[in-house]
Structure 1
């Protein structure tokens, strides 16, 4: 499993060297955009709309748009300085809480944690302590220049770090439009709904749920592939090199200066015929 981050977990005076691994993967089927005419993949280039020229990464600076059309430019060394100030390569556990006190809306991404060299015993200690206490650790971590809150918990005998949103990143539910303020339902309707919920209640078994759309799309792609319904990009017209053009020009020049072998015998034949005719007249 690929390691995306190395650092340590710290709580109190305990320090655990760990590695971080992505716990989930995106299974979405990525489709490419092709030019309908020649089936060539479409390129997306960075172009300045004012200068009307293509630009490279060296021509780009980062900025914050504080008002429409007004920016504050931030230099790379300034951003790097902030990054170094905040990135200590440590997952600092700030508090321990009951997991059910954290609403799922806060959760973002999951990462597996494995012990780095010399960290196995401390890793086992934290894992066992979390299991016995029934609590999770609330921590802070900086990943890819972004400071994030995180939850450390145990999943299938492995420490897992779940990044969570800061409170100001979660929008207010009060801003959602058209939400009824009161429950305008009858007791009979409520009892029927609860009965239906009871009938559909079961144990959570992740393996029985599948992405039906992705499966159907893969089947469609495979049926087209095996049925040879495939397309290939039209070969690009590559410009000829100067050498090729020069050789072609030289050959064409040679061809133009060759003697006309087809017309020469005709001229000789005509000349011979004229000589014979003149001799007969003289006779």
Structure 2
């Protein structure tokens, strides 16, 4: 597993040398834009629309737009002074919390932490302490020229660091337009909705969820490579004749209700003998 960062976890006076590894991977299929006529990949050039010329890297500077069309230019050395990245980079644990106190909206990306040279025992100590206490650590880390907030917890016997958004990076739910303030729901509708939820409730098994679009796209690419022509008909579900919310809920329950096993056919009894007078 590729090491993408090396540093130390600062745990009080304890310093734990660690290595950082991406815990997830992007499996999106990257498609290039080609010229339709000759299938040459299209270039995306950095061109100044005023000077009408392509720019070299050294001709480009960073700027912040303060008003429409007006920028404050920031030099590279000025940005470097603000980064405050020392040779000895550290993950500083500043608080310990219960993981359930964090709403999932804050979570950003996950990374595995492994012990670096000389850090095995201290790594094991922090891992065991987190498990025994049932807590997760809140930490600060500088990654890719940005200070980030993170959570350190134990996942399958490994320390996991999850970067999280700062509070001012999460937009207010109150600003979402069109959200109804009052629920005009009848008790019958609510009870039926809860029944539907109960019918669809099952233990979380991530293995059963597949990216069907990616699978189909890979099949299409493979068929193109081998020269096969594949046509997949789209199966449409028959539209339900639903006129109101209650009917929709009931139709959903009927559709998701477990099918009952057919009763075994009864054995035919021997025909009664006719009584001869």
Deviations along 1:68-91, whole A, 9 cap, x unmatched? 111111111111111135785100
Deviations along 1:208-232, whole A, 9 cap, x unmatched? 1000000011111111111178xxx
Deviates more, 1:65-74 or 1:87-96: 87-96
Q: What residue number does 2:96 align with?
A: 96
Q: What residue number does 1:197 align with?
A: 197
SS class of match (1:20): strand
SS class of match (1:142): strand
Q: Which runs of 4+ in 1 moved over 4 A?
A: 85-88
Q: What residue number does 2:272 align with?
A: none
Structure 1 contact 9–16 (Cα < 8 Å) conserved: yes
Larger Rg: 1
Call closer, same or farther: CA 1:228–1:198 in 2, change over 3 Å: closer
* Match status 1:214 vs 2:214: yes
Call closer, same or farther: CA 1:170–1:88 in 2, change over 3 Å: farther
Q: What residue number does 2:253 align with?
A: none
Q: How do residues 124-135 of structure 1 correspond to structure 2 at under 5 angstroms? A: 124-135=124-135
Deviates more, 1:184-193 or 1:80-89: 80-89
Query: Equivalents in 2 of 1:160, 1:60: separation in Å?
Result: 38
Structure 1 unaligned segments of length 5 or more: list them. 230-283
Structure 2 unaligned segments of length 5 or more: list them. 230-277
Deviations along 1:6-65, whole A, 9 cap, x unmatched? 000012111100000011000000101011111111011110101100111111011111
Query: Equivalents in 2 of 1:228, 1:106: separation in Å?
Result: 46
Q: How do residues 1-283 of structure 1 correspond to structure 2 at under 5 angstroms? A: 1-84=1-84, 89-227=89-227
TM-score (structure 2 length as normaliser): 0.81
The count of residues paired between Structure 1 and Structure 2 equals: 229
SS class of match (1:138): strand
Instruction: Kindly report the root-mean-square deviation, in angstroms, between the aligned alpha carbons of the 2 structures.
Output: 1.3
Deviations along 1:63-119, whole A, 9 cap, x unmatched? 111111111111111111111357851000010000000000000000000000000
SS class of match (1:81): helix
Query: Equivalents in 2 of 1:75, 1:160: separation in Å?
Result: 36
TM-score (structure 1 length as normaliser): 0.79
Query: Equivalents in 2 of 1:2, 1:86: separation in Å?
Result: 23
